[in-house]
């Protein structure tokens, strides 16, 4: 349980590190500072659901393996 909490905390605190492809970085820089921040937030927002789904599947798999 402590590992899961640590992973969640690391993801929350590293949200300010906006890693993007070259095209997205160029687009965000051309949009201006406020729009670029919104673009970065949107990118993270869209990425959150796949990570949540993968995390749910991983936790279910781990619990099933632990029981069996």
On whether the CB atoms of residues 20 and 28 are closer than 8 A, the answer is yes
Backbone φ, ψ for residue 39 (5° rounding): -65, -45
Q: Which helix (H) or strand (E) holds 48?
A: helix 33-67
Q: What is the mean pLDDT of each run of 10 residues along the chain (68 residues)?
A: 82 64 78 82 86 94 88
Question: Measured between alpha carbons, how far is 50 from 25 in angstroms, rounded to an integer?
Answer: 22
pLDDT of residue 54: 95
pLDDT of residue 16: 57
Of 5, 15, 21, 11, the C-alpha closest to 41 is 15
């Amino acid at each position: 349980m402590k590992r899961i909490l640590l992973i969640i905390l690391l993801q929350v605190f590293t949200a300010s590190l906006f890693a993007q492809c070259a095209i997205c970085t160029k687009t965000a820089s051309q949009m201006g500072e406020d729009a670029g921040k919104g673009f970065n937030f949107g990118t993270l927002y869209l990425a959150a659901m796949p990570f949540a789904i993968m995390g749910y599947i991983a936790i279910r798999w781990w619990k099933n393996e632990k029981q069996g």
